[in-house]
């Protein structure tokens, strides 16, 4: 479960709401292509400017 804390901490450190980021990522996950999984990570989201 440490990975969950790491992802939530990364979201917070990058100025994202951890709960909002997690909710959005979990909603997209079932239909998201495996080859683009890294785009759901908090750091990538900040880099993209979403």
Per-residue model confidence as pLDDT tens digits over 17-45? 999 999 999 999 999 999 999 999 988 77
- So what's the pLDDT on residue 45? 72
Output the pLDDT for position 43. 82
CA–CA separation, 17 vs 45, rounded Å?
12
Q: Which pTM value belongs to this model?
A: 0.79
Whether 46 and 14 have beta carbons less than 8 Å apart is answered as yes
Alpha helix (H) ranges present in 1-50? 2-13, 18-28, 42-48
Rounded CA gap, 5 and 48, in Å?
22
User: Residue 50's pLDDT band (boundaries 50, 70, 90)?
Assistant: low
């Amino acid at each position: 479960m440490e990975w969950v804390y790491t992802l939530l901490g990364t979201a917070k450190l990058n100025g994202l709401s951890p709960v909002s980021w997690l909710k959005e990522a979990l909603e997209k996950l079932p239909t998201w292509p495996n080859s683009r999984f890294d785009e759901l990570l908090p750091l990538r989201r900040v880099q993209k400017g979403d």
